[in-house]
Amino acid sequence: MRRKWESGDGPLQVRCAWFVALACIATLALAPTMAVAQEPAPAEEDTSIDEADEAAEATEEAAEAEGEVEDADDVVTEEELDEAEAAIEEAERQLEEARRQMELMGRKMAPEPTPAPGTDVGLVSSDGRAKKLQWSLNDDGTLYFRLAMWLQVWTRAIQMNPGTTVLGNDNAWYGDVGLRRARFLAFGKIFPRTTLLMHFGINNQTFRRTRGYVPVQDGTTGDATGDVVLAPTTAEANRKPQLFFHDAWVEFEASKKGYIDIGAGLLYWNGVSRMTNASTITAMSLDLPITNWPTIELTDQFARQLGLYFKGKAGLYDYRVAVVRPFTPSTAAFTVDGDPVIVAGINVTANTFGYSGYFMFQFLDKESNVLPYTVGTYIGAKRVFNLGFGAHGQPKGVAYVDGAGNLRTRWLGIASGDLFLDIPFAGEDSGAATWYGAYYYQDFGPDVFRNVGIMNPGDGGSSTSLNGPGNAYPTIGTGHTVYSELGILMPGHVGENIKFQPYVNWQGSSYQGLNDGMHHVGAGINMFIHRHNAKVTLEYRNRPIYNTDGNVENRKGNSFVLQMHLFI
């Protein structure tokens, strides 16, 4: 054929056939690039594989065209041959450019990694696509970096405990606006089999100061008069709260099958219960009951401790265990011979390690354990039924003074069992039911309990109740506690995607330091604007008021809280 072209002899149809072949190559090679320029971005199911198939079809058509050239009989001139060869070179250049563009598109369209719990469930916009600040670090998305942030703003009306004053004002009701949580979370699988997480932010800022969790000691470990001892946190004097780390840890996959991962740092891989590991983003009730974090701000840093952890999954079984170094309490301590020894039953000088574990059996859908944060409600996205057991202990973690005035120490021990059920109703958009129940046994020494008042606005003043000032009530202490909550995601929706979820919650505790049982109740409703990304919660709460003898005097501890929550 080449000799015929050079001599000027050859089939007349060669020119036409070659031009047809070149047109096919150029058109098909440029098709992906033209489609990207002219059409909107592909849906998630469209991938670079589709465009690779188109390139293969272009190659087959070019081969067919070349076969037609070989069968042709007419003659072309040498000048026409040169033009054809130049056109072939241009087509090859364009084909190479198209291949390069497809490789770039393949990188951009790399699949996202599996979302992580506590930051993934129901976190989608109205168009069904996840709202994420996430970047893939390799072509297939198995290495990635994610940034998340959320804000929870509370507007409150609180019926204050008897005798409470706020800046000298002793009104029975009080109202304010505060920041319950303002957080940033950065995490990712930066290298193969390696995960890094850093979580920082603030909590509990009101117009006057930041209030923490105020421990209360019973008279057996308090002052000589037998009155309760309020130990204010060091943060109370600061109007501007400082950013601090909630979590900071690194993890390595010891088993590719997920049987065991090993990590270390400032940990939230807690023992005790599901809610001790709870996500604050996906909580069903307005807030967690706080008794789920028994050592909050005593031997931990906002429910976190420094240590080493192991976690994994095998079939139905999911576990997490940790060896931790509890923090030394920084609040005012009860003293013996002038030395600080006890804070709310905690032995300040224990100097021992702590041990935690939580073990689940997941009978229906399996939950991810990429991150420690457990989901409060899946709002119809999963069918979950879990049974869990957990514990936390620290040798010599408890200190107390016995009847003879001798200082004694013993194990700090906490144990729990819980059930979690989240079941969608039959049919599309038919709603769901979420139920959680937990039992706790806590031992902080004889007759010890702690009052907790979230964002407590009250001064000590002349408080005449055992609750202390503000909105505090007995929340944590030696004895038995049951907590339960139930929510119903209503069928249907309002507008395009707004859904409603009424719920109720209850904590019942029998503490050694109180004569009457402690019952705290709440009832509220969630309005999901964009599922857990944007929601509004309104909750009514009622707490008991105790007199100084440890008996319930009345239940005039009412409050209404409106929360606006935004997450991305």
pLDDT digit string, tens, across residues 53-102: 333 343 344 444 444 444 444 456 777 777 888 888 888 887 777 776 66
Rounded Cα gap, residues 220 and 139, in angstroms: 64
Please give the pLDDT value at position 107.
Answer: 43
Question: Residue type for 498, please?
Answer: I
Rounded Cα gap, residues 164 and 458, in angstroms: 6
Q: Over range 207-223, report the average pLDDT.
A: 48
Q: Over range 518-531, report the average pLDDT.
A: 96
- Six-digit token pair at 123? 């976190």
- Range of lowest pLDDT (5-9, 52-56, 71-75, 302-306): 52-56
- Range of lowest pLDDT (105-119, 341-355, 411-425): 105-119
Please give the pLDDT value at position 103.
Answer: 59
Residue 110: how many CA atoms within 13 Å on its side-chain side?
17
Residue 30: how many CA atoms within 13 Å on its side-chain side?
14
Question: Residue type for 43, please?
Answer: A
**What is the SS3 assignment for 167?**
coil
CB contact set of 444 (below 8 Å; sequence gap of 6+): 294, 344, 345, 346, 398, 412, 476, 477, 478
Look at residues 92, 152, 153, 142 and name the one whose alpha carbon lies nearest to residue 113. 142
pLDDT tens profile 486-511: 999 999 889 888 999 999 999 999 99
Answer yes or no: is pLDDT of 1 > 60.
no
Rounded Cα gap, residues 412 and 395, in angstroms: 6
Question: Residue type for 127, please?
Answer: D
Please give the pLDDT value at position 30.
Answer: 43
Rounded Cα gap, residues 233 and 343, in angstroms: 12
The mean pLDDT value of the chain amounts to 80
Please give the pLDDT value at position 389.
Answer: 97
Contact 550, 135 (CB under 8 A): no
Rounded Cα gap, residues 191 and 99, in angstroms: 28
Answer yes or no: is pLDDT of 233 > 80.
no
- Six-digit token pair at 182? 């303002």
- Work out the percent of the chain whose per-residue pLDDT is above 90: 54
Please give the pLDDT value at position 342.
Answer: 84
Q: Over range 328-337, report the average pLDDT.
A: 64
pLDDT tens profile 445-486: 999 999 999 999 888 766 678 998 899 999 999 999 999 999
- Model confidence at 3, in pLDDT bands (50, 70, 90)? very low
Contact 311, 369 (CB under 8 A): yes
- Range of lowest pLDDT (133-147, 491-505, 551-565): 133-147
Please give the pLDDT value at position 123.
Answer: 52
- Six-digit token pair at 88? 């072939």
Look at residues 473, 559, 499 and name the one whose alpha carbon lies nearest to residue 178. 559
Write out the DSSP string of 468-499.
-STT-EEEEESEEEEEEEEEEEPSS-BTTTBE
Q: Over range 318-322, report the average pLDDT.
A: 97
Q: Which helix (H) or strand (E) holds 104?
A: helix 78-108
Answer yes or no: is pLDDT of 129 > 60.
no
- Entry pTM: 0.75
Q: Over range 27-36, report the average pLDDT.
A: 43
Contact 535, 513 (CB under 8 A): no
Please give the pLDDT value at position 12.
Answer: 47
Q: Over range 330-357, report the average pLDDT.
A: 78
- Model confidence at 358, in pLDDT bands (50, 70, 90)? very high
Answer yes or no: is pLDDT of 282 > 70.
yes
1.10.287.610, 2.40.160.10, 3.10.350.10, 1.20.1440.130: CATH of 133-567: 2.40.160.10
Contact 454, 520 (CB under 8 A): no
State the helix-helix crossing angle for 78-108 and 14-38, rounded to 10 degrees.
Answer: 20
Q: What are the sequence ranges of the domains in the chain? A: 2-108, 133-567
Please give the pLDDT value at position 339.
Answer: 58
Please give the pLDDT value at position 290.
Answer: 95
Q: Over range 396-408, report the average pLDDT.
A: 88
Q: Which residue has the higher pLDDT, 39 or 457?
A: 457
Q: Over range 364-372, report the average pLDDT.
A: 93
Answer yes or no: is pLDDT of 231 > 60.
no
- Model confidence at 197, in pLDDT bands (50, 70, 90)? very high
SS3 for 343-363 is ECCEECCCCCCEEEEEEEEEC
Write out the DSSP string of 422-465.
EEEPSSTT--EEEEEEEEEEEESSTT-EEEE-TT---B-TT--S
Q: Which residue has the higher pLDDT, 274 or 33?
A: 274
Provide the strand spans (E) within 3-132.
Answer: none
Q: Sign of the C-alpha dihedral, residues 107, 567, 293, 339?
A: positive
Please give the pLDDT value at position 102.
Answer: 63
Rounded Cα gap, residues 268 and 358, in angstroms: 12
Please give the pLDDT value at position 338.
Answer: 56
Q: Over range 344-350, report the average pLDDT.
A: 88
Please give the pLDDT value at position 407.
Answer: 87
Q: Which residue has the higher pLDDT, 118 or 176?
A: 176
Provide the strand spans (E) within 303-383.
Answer: 305-314, 317-325, 334-336, 339-343, 346-347, 354-362
